[in-house]
Amino acid sequence: MRLWSACFYRLCRYALIGPALYLRGRPKIVGRGNIPRRGPVIVAANHLAVLDSFYLTLAARRQITFLAKREYFDRGGVTGRLQRGFFSAVGQIPVDRRGGATASPALEAATRIVEQGGAWGIHPEGTRSPDGRLYRGRTGAVRVAMDTDVPLVPVAITGTRPDPSVPWWRRRVVVEVLEPLDLDPFRDAGATGVRAATDELMRMIGARTGQQYVDAYARQWNPPADQPDAA
């Protein structure tokens, strides 16, 4: 299955999807060398549009595994089977959108990815920004990075959010890969340190994208009041 996933990924990147992405977004990639070609790494980016994950993979020059909405795997019918097959083939992991304890299996799976030398990609906001602003990050990326001592690389993406006022041929996607976040100052502060490190991660991303920051979770991902802050 892993060989099939790698082959299907290369087919999508170089033949089916990659060329169309280059034509559509004319991506400018800055700091590509901050994502290692081999070895474990966590790549965390803001989330403006569906295509963010695809452009992030193009910037990385390696296969990145993301956590995908469980809804993508649970739908029925022919469309559901095709969708489930696509996400499974490219190595995506289903995640429960409610957060809290229900996210633990997904974070465990993400931990296995990096422990096996893979690259885990995540959008800490948990969902696409509803209005183009940058929302509070969930703590899963920092938690896994601290637990595994794996580099956590922030990525700032602009130009993917649809803008009817700008013709498509004038739009350009910019993917700026930043240096890994230094987690050492936050390690001895427990949950407070994890939260502070996540806030610093989002601050670094926002400083490059220029997005207005909102110190609240994006509406689609607000957990119930009795659920702890998780993925």
How far is the C-alpha of 106 from the C-alpha of 93, rounded, in Å?
7
For the chain, what are the domain ranges?
2-221
| pLDDT at residue 206 is higher than 50 | yes
pLDDT digits 0-9 by tens, 2-61: 676 678 777 888 888 888 888 888 999 999 999 999 999 999 999 999 899 999 999 998
Average pLDDT, integer, range 76-97: 68
Question: What pLDDT was estimated at residue 100?
Answer: 52
Average pLDDT, integer, range 139-151: 97
Q: What are phi and psi of 175, to 5 degrees?
A: -120, 110
Average pLDDT, the chain: 85
pLDDT digits 0-9 by tens, 96-130: 655 555 557 778 889 999 999 999 999 999 889 99
Superfamily of domain 2-221: Glycerol-3-phosphate (1)-acyltransferase (3.40.1130.10)
Question: What pLDDT was estimated at residue 103?
Answer: 59
* pLDDT band of 170, cuts 50, 70, 90: confident
User: Residue 159 in contact with residue 172, Cβ under 8 Å?
Assistant: yes
Question: What pLDDT was estimated at residue 163?
Answer: 81
